[in-house]
Chain A
């Protein structure tokens, strides 16, 4: 695998089936998560990173909702990060130099991936819920944050953490796969609120298997 090809991506998709906002959150939060049923999806991206030319790891979904119930005040927003079983679709390399075969195979792979991801989208666990409001800055005319930012976060233990105006850290994680050599690859994403973190990560054995298949 070429190091230079390792990159992180957030690919935006607009999936109609995600345009629902009935995502559950652990019921044990001291402050209940706001009911966002009926909210509409502003945008959806996947939590993913590229492992090689032939493989991308998908870890979860990052969904931003906006409230449209009150047309006079569409200023309340919520962001939900959810996780699913991490998968790594790996496309085999075609070595017959027929570009159209490679292209067609890539597109069919895309379909298989999309179908599998659509299935996973139905089976996600929310781990982070952030709510905020905006108001118009009278000087610039642009939107600015208005008031507190409320956070609900799923601890690794399954308990709920609630916080207000804390920074939500997002950090890509690497691990060494060089067997003694300094070769690190992306393995996951770490979300952090205060000292508490929640990691989304691929199974290292899948990664090692992928690396073993010709260093793709």
Chain B
């Protein structure tokens, strides 16, 4: 370290110490919660979100802290399917790595230590705790030069092999490796050599830069020492992705790499899965279900031709339907079914689809006899040929009319009968020949 650097270090350490007075855990050290809360802050402070911070700072009782800590880890568990908390294990493993000074003997950056660089509250530890170690070969040190200070980069790549982040550390005047944050918004010589705004000022080993020439010396030295632009790239750009910033993201369309990560369960809540196919039974529905849980039995008749009115006739035993109670004195029970019939020409593969909907209503007497084996009371019949196309929005021709438009040929017919709210269903696949 140069003489300038030593002087600056003394000044900055004094300022730092003064600034820290009264900070930290603002409660009586005699309070039983002081120690666990302090340790929690020290170890996991970088993971406390802004909302949690408000609560955490107010904690003065051990019981409150216990509840906070339990909830803190619960919502971060990355795999709720296991009894272990994988996230806590991951972070505790990284804490242990820091205590073990794993970079002291690292092949890429030997001699790098956390303890002399701010310990658990230093920038190195912050990046390490949040992102772990870069893969081997993705971190490098550049020794101090005549004009620039010692530098170190940690690169993290995404699944496509593109850099996700470039963390650049520089040795500050107090002797600690600090994170470079003054990225140049654009590669412009005017900015680069401007003594007031140039990012090169930060990585210069002079305490004060007053001229463009001094900055040029830093740059030319970097050009010589960093021909592959490993360090210089990190000087200009933290991430090539515009939705990533180093800090100050909003977790929606801008993400801060050093922000406390959003707890896994909250992320999952935002990105929760859609489960298609679920029953859609309105609250308060009085439902009389068949004995089946998912099945809607029906007899299908496909005999004869499309001109025959019984073609594709469906016969359903009423006891096998789910009935909904409705406000109708004459017909207090109703069931609604969707039907989809598709015809695919085996030769041309052309698909013709028909969808419709129909409703049966029963009087109380009919409903009471729905288990009867007699043809009259126990059965409901659907003749799709006479049904009109209805997809929930628009009406169309009847199935009979639609089928008359089909080219003669062999067809695969798929039929899907489904209760509209309970989603019980029955599919068929038949092959027919249409010859008008």
A and B physically associate: yes
**Which A residues are within 8 Å of any B CB, using their own CB?**
60, 83-92, 94, 96-101, 103-105, 107-114, 116, 123-125, 127, 154-159, 173, 175-176, 179-180, 182, 188, 190, 197, 199-206, 209-210
Asked if residues A199 and B429 are in contact (CB atoms below 8 Å), the reply is yes
Nearest CB of A to B383, in Å: 17
Nearest CB of A to B64, in Å: 27
* Nearest B residue (CB) for A109: B273
Residue B313 interfacial (CB < 8 Å): no
* 5 A–B contacts from the bound complex (CB under 8 Å): A86-B294, A92-B273, A108-B264, A108-B272, A112-B275
Residue B271 interfacial (CB < 8 Å): yes
Residue in A100, A114, A173 whose beta carbon sits within 8 Å of that of B81 in the complex: A114
Residues in A with CB closer than 8 Å to B159 are 97, 99
Asked if residues B273 and A83 are in contact (CB atoms below 8 Å), the reply is no
* Nearest B residue (CB) for A159: B297
Which of under 10, 10 to 19, 20 to 34, or 35 or more describes the interface residues of B? 35 or more
Nearest CB of B to A188, in Å: 7
Residue B4 interfacial (CB < 8 Å): no
Say yes or no: A105-B342 contact (C-beta < 8 A), given A85-B423, A156-B298, A199-B429: no
Complex-state Cα separation, A119 to B50, whole angstroms: 37
Residues in B with CB closer than 8 Å to A173 are 429
Residue B103 interfacial (CB < 8 Å): no
Residues in B with CB closer than 8 Å to A197 are 429
Asked if residues A110 and B351 are in contact (CB atoms below 8 Å), the reply is no
Residues in B with CB closer than 8 Å to A101 are 262, 264, 267
Complex-state Cα separation, A185 to B426, whole angstroms: 19
Nearest CB of B to A83, in Å: 5
Which of B10-18, B169-177, B276-284 contacts the other chain? B276-284
Asked if residues B295 and A182 are in contact (CB atoms below 8 Å), the reply is no
Asked if residues A84 and B158 are in contact (CB atoms below 8 Å), the reply is no
With most chain B CB atoms within 10 A of its CB, the pick from A91, A124, A157 is: A157
Residues in B with CB closer than 8 Å to A155 are 297
Asked if residues B342 and A202 are in contact (CB atoms below 8 Å), the reply is no
Residues in B with CB closer than 8 Å to A112 are 272-273, 275
Residue B89 interfacial (CB < 8 Å): no
Nearest CB of A to B74, in Å: 12
Complex-state Cα separation, A216 to B362, whole angstroms: 43
Residues in B with CB closer than 8 Å to A108 are 80, 264-265, 268, 272
Asked if residues A107 and B81 are in contact (CB atoms below 8 Å), the reply is yes
Residues in A with CB closer than 8 Å to B297 are 155-159
Chain A contact residues, majority secondary structure: mixed
* Nearest A residue (CB) for B320: A158
Asked if residues B80 and A107 are in contact (CB atoms below 8 Å), the reply is yes
Asked if residues A111 and B294 are in contact (CB atoms below 8 Å), the reply is no
Residue B108 interfacial (CB < 8 Å): no
Residue B221 interfacial (CB < 8 Å): no
Residues in A with CB closer than 8 Å to B414 are 175, 204
Complex-state Cα separation, A210 to B273, whole angstroms: 12
Complex-state Cα separation, A205 to B392, whole angstroms: 12
Residues in B with CB closer than 8 Å to A91 are 271, 273
Asked if residues A89 and B273 are in contact (CB atoms below 8 Å), the reply is yes
With most chain B CB atoms within 10 A of its CB, the pick from A127, A173, A188, A205 is: A205
Asked if residues B294 and A88 are in contact (CB atoms below 8 Å), the reply is no
Asked if residues B300 and A176 are in contact (CB atoms below 8 Å), the reply is no
Complex-state Cα separation, A123 to B80, whole angstroms: 25
Which B251-273 residues have C-beta < 8 A from chain A? 255, 261-262, 264-265, 267-268, 271-273
Residue in A97, A103, A125, A210 whose beta carbon sits within 8 Å of that of B294 in the complex: A125
Asked if residues A123 and B294 are in contact (CB atoms below 8 Å), the reply is yes
Complex-state Cα separation, A123 to B291, whole angstroms: 11
Complex-state Cα separation, A103 to B90, whole angstroms: 14
With most chain B CB atoms within 10 A of its CB, the pick from A104, A127, A175 is: A104
Asked if residues A199 and B428 are in contact (CB atoms below 8 Å), the reply is yes
With most chain B CB atoms within 10 A of its CB, the pick from A99, A101, A180 is: A101
Residue in A86, A156, A176 whose beta carbon sits within 8 Å of that of B349 in the complex: A176
* Nearest A residue (CB) for B131: A100
Given contacts A109-B272, A114-B81, A158-B292, 15 further A-B contacts (CB under 8 A): A83-B294, A83-B295, A88-B277, A96-B244, A103-B78, A105-B267, A107-B78, A108-B80, A127-B295, A156-B428, A158-B298, A158-B317, A159-B297, A173-B429, A204-B416
